[in-house]
Amino acid sequence: MKDVYILGIESSCDETSISIVKNGCEEIATTVLTQMDTHAKFGGVVPEIASRMHTENITIVLEDLLSKAKMQVSDVDAIAVTYAPGLLGSLLVGVEFAKTLSLVYEKPLIATHHIAGHIYANNLVKKLEFPLLAVVVSGGHTELVLMEDDYKFKVLGTTKDDAIGESFDKVARVLGLPYPGGPNVEKYASLGNPTYDLPKPMDNDELDFSFSGLKSAVINLKHNEEQRGNKIREYDLACSFQTVAFDQIIRKSRLAIERYNIKRVIVAGGVSASANLREEMQKLCAEKNVDLSIPPMKYCTDNATMIACAAYPQFLKHDFSDFSLHAKSQEYFFKNEDM
Ligand code: KG4
Ligand code: ZN
């Protein structure tokens, strides 16, 4: 079969990124321009600034990518873009840019979901083999998903309230840590010990998750200690929170592995950048004799490489979009078992 080159575009949050990937698994080149330093000054992503910066940067990112790849847009077979979920203004910049490239260069347009990107980033390590259990841990998702084939999903467990990444971001704020929250909580946690007693959420045999009670427990503990005039040991509190949060992921993953006789696990989403979670997942999978895949660190945070990977099965199925494609700030990914 002829090689397929897909140009992927990602602009759902504060990274402008474009990539070319061959056959859904071989990165030709990627450019990522992050706005993190700008948003850090405001303590979080400012949507209006994010979309303006995407607009300013996206052609520069494309030029840089093409020169690294030593290719032209006319050389690729399709243009893929993250259409959901994310900041609407930011998504729109990517979607309209993708439509323009598709129109000018007469290439099919592929609308790819951001979470599909996080899942298919694993193809950069090793081609997905089915069935597998996807442990999805991101800013907006916490799910255990059984994948029986490309884009065939069965949700085994999901969060009843906050997503795990969201809880890291909220706890970071409580601890007064700057944006981005997750990596900063991890840094603090690495300097402390889990000495604070926090409640273990969902201590049962269900596969669902909960993170809001844990976050509230952190807030209450800090408040109560301050009321008593005690100083909080921030490193220990970060470590205690992280330990309980990841314990929940590991406990539920273990249950799913046992219940569904899982042989392969992949981890997807921004929280998989955590060294601590990576280590705990490795221990679990070694204990259960399960094959584990986690994307390399640079593909855990938002990038267009993962979008071009996720678009490949869509390309093979001719799942193309027309120019009526809209960006969507929210769209639940696992709503159907089929694409
Ligand atoms: O997957 P992602 O890009 O979000 C969505 O696509 O929804 O990941 C971003 C999330 C943020 O909540 C961030 O705090 C979290 O991933 N995160 C981490 C770490 N690095 C990023 N959480 C815990 N530890 C980390 N090292
Ligand atoms: Zn993401």
Digit-coded pLDDT (tens) for 67-98? 999 999 999 999 999 999 999 999 999 999 99
Q: Which residue type, as a one-letter code, is found at position 5?
A: Y
Q: How far is CA 69 from CA 7, 63, 123, 223, 301, in A?
A: 11, 10, 20, 53, 21
Does ligand 1 lie within 6 Å of residue 113's CB atom? no
Residue of 159, 168, 302, 334 with the most ligand 1 atoms within 8 Å of its CB, for mutation: 168
pTM: 0.95
Q: For ligand 1, pick from 119, 143, 171, 271 the residue to mutate: most ligand atoms within 8 Å of CB.
A: 271
- Under 8 Å between Cβ of 290 and 265: yes
Q: How far is CA 311 from CA 1, 61, 111, 189, 208, in A?
A: 17, 20, 8, 36, 29
Mean pLDDT of the chain: 96
Distance CA 68, CA 303 (A): 16
Say what the pLDDT of residue 94 is. Answer: 98
Q: What is the pLDDT of residue 88?
A: 98
> Identity (one letter) of the amino acid at 31?
T
Q: Are strands 132-137 and 264-268 parallel, antiparallel or unpaired?
A: parallel
Atom of ligand 1 nearest to the CA of 275: 26
pLDDT of residue 265: 98
E strand segments, 212-256: none
What per-residue confidence (pLDDT) applies to 337? Answer: 54
Task: Report the candidate in 215, 214, 294, 286 with the shortest Cα–Cα distance to residue 254.
Answer: 286
The residues pairing with 19 across neighbouring beta strands, listed in sequence order, are 8, 30
Question: What residue ranges of the chain have pLDDT lower than 70?
Answer: 335-339
Q: Among the bound ligands, name the one nearest to the CA of residue 189.
A: 1
Distance 115 CA to ligand 2 centre (A): 7
Cα separation, 15 vs 46, whole angstroms? 13
